[in-house]
Amino acid sequence: MISDDHQLVIDQLQGVIDETQHTLERFESSGMDEQMRADYDTLLAILDDAVTQQREYTLAMLGG
C-alpha cells in the first residue's frame, strides 16, 4: 500500500469511530446501554476494533 491508500483507510476508519462514538453517546443518554446491554457491548467491540485497525494502518504508513 502507498501512503495515500493508508490515509484513505485511516480516514474511513475515523468515520466509523466517530459514528460509533455518537451512537454510544445516544445509547448512554437514553438509558439504552442498560436496556440493550448486548447491543451496547457490540458497539464497544466495533469501536475497539476500528481504533486498533486505525492504529495499525497509521504505524504502517509511518513505516513502523
How far is it, in rounded angstroms, from Cα 40 to Cα 23? 9
Residue type, 55: R
Whether 54 and 14 have beta carbons less than 8 Å apart is answered as yes
Phi and psi dihedrals of 63, rounded to 5? 85, 15
Name the one residue in this structure whose C-alpha cell is 481504533.
51
In order along its 64 residues, the chain shows pLDDT tens digits of 788 899 999 999 999 999 999 999 999 999 999 999 999 999 999 999 999 999 999 999 998 6
How far is it, in rounded angstroms, from Cα 49 to Cα 64? 19
